[in-house]
Amino acid sequence: MQIVDPRTGSPMAPPDNSSQRQSGTTASVDDSQIIVNVDMSNFQQVVLEGSLSTPVLLASWGPSSEESRNLAPVLEKLAREYAGAFILAHFNAEEHTQIAGQLGIRSVPDVKLIMQGQLYDHFQGALPERQIREWLGRYLEAPEAAGETTEEQAKAALEAGDTATAKALYQQLIEEQPSDHEYRIDLANVLAAEMDRQQALEILDNLPPEHRDGHRARGVRARLDFVQEAPSAEEVEALGDRDDSEARFKRAMRTIADGDYESGLEQLIELMKRDRNYNDDAPRKTLLRVFDALGNDHPLTVSYRRRMFTLLY
CATH no., domain 31-138: 3.40.30.10
Q: For 126-158, what is each residue's pLDDT tens digit?
A: 888 888 999 999 999 877 645 678 888 999 999
For the purposes of burial, counting CB atoms within 10 Å of the CB of 151, is it exposed (0-12), middle (13-18) or buried (19 or more)?
Answer: buried
Q: For 155-201, what is each residue's pLDDT tens digit?
A: 999 988 899 999 999 999 999 888 889 999 999 999 998 989 999 99
Fold exhibited by the domain 230-312:
1.25.40
pLDDT at 247 over 50: yes
Q: Provide the whole-model pTM.
A: 0.61
Q: For 223-236, what is each residue's pLDDT tens digit?
A: 899 989 999 999 99
* Nearest CA among 3, 23, 21 for reference residue 13: 3
Q: How many CA atoms lie within 13 Å of 288's alpha carbon, on the beta-carbon side?
A: 6
Q: Is 312 helix (H, G, I), strand (E, B) or coil?
A: helix
